[in-house]
Amino acid sequence: MDFVFYEYEKKQLDINIDFCGREACLPNYSFGPSIRENYVLHFILDGSGCLHIDGDIIDLAAGDCFVLPKDHITFYQANKQTPWEYVWIGIGGTKVEEFLQRSSLLDFFYLKNIAHSAFIKEFILLVDLSENVSDSNIDLLMDSQIYKLLYILANEFPSTKQIKKSQKELYFLEAIKYIANYFNRAITVTDICSQLNLSRSYLYAIFKAQIGYSPQQYLLRFRMKKASDLLVNTSNTVTMIASSVGYNDPLNFSKAFKSYYGQSATEYRVNHTDLKQGRRVFSKKID
């Protein structure tokens, strides 16, 4: 069994490439049952196998694509006579489900006979990019490529279901949009509530229901992720970065950063600058 796996640091909130890989499976090789915390897209290059999800058993073969969705119990197994070989991409983030729901991939969790589609062309390109270990800035190209991939997926294979957002979902989207636009100012949760004309308790309940943590935690995470990116990819001073992510007091920023990451901003910069791709590579060949 040939196996190559690339894991990435989770730097983005909306969409993040968690890992990519390739695998040529042994006969009857299986994985699961398991529950994922992200979405893992697979494209079958050769052979065949089956996917078990939500009580259904789906036979799949070369040219098919399937997804292991978040929060579903899944099990999949290679065929005994013609074990499959596939590539995969794991993606996470607060907007991944919303974007995937625009396509029919989440309607049934698979797409049949799409080897010649534009979506698969971009899928393979993204996996190929992940294997470029010589380019220290390849993560920037991959971040843009994942959006392009999801765009093509939604347009080439649109959802068969009409999705109508609830009022709570609309409030949530407005709140995170406000944070994305104004995180670099000294905004607070109170400001978000005022902007949306909502009570603090109601906004808290919305965030907990949508993503599992509070507006304050989301705002902090957003700022810390932006700060970590600036530390690794710019030469700006810590004071400048603090101001860039909405902290007027550099000391308060330093305390918040160390509490979040377990190390000071300066230590974080030193430890991550030489590894700014955030990539770990695993490779093995099993006879």
pLDDT of res. 277: 46
- For the cut 50, the answer to whether the pLDDT of residue 244 exceeds it is yes
Structure tokens of 82? 């013609």
pTM score of the predicted model? 0.63
Asked if 1 contacts 25 with a C-beta cutoff of 8 angstroms, the reply is yes
* Phi and psi angles of residue 23, each rounded to the nearest 5 degrees, phi first: -155, 130
- Rounded distance, CA 48 to CA 82, Å? 6
222-234 exposure pattern, b = at least 16 Cβ within 10 A, e = fewer: bbbbbbbbbbbee
Helix, strand and coil in the chain, % to nearest 5: 45, 25, 30
Structure tokens of 38? 């992200």
Max mean pLDDT among 102-116, 130-144, 267-281 falls in 102-116
- Rounded distance, CA 125 to CA 49, Å? 24
pLDDT of res. 165: 76
In this predicted structure, which of 43-52, 176-185, 274-283 has the lowest mean pLDDT? 274-283
What's the angle, vertex CA 67, arms to CA 160 and CA 36, rounded to 5? 120
Mean of pLDDT over the chain: 86
pLDDT tens by residue, 155-196: 999 988 766 778 898 899 899 989 989 999 999 999 999 999
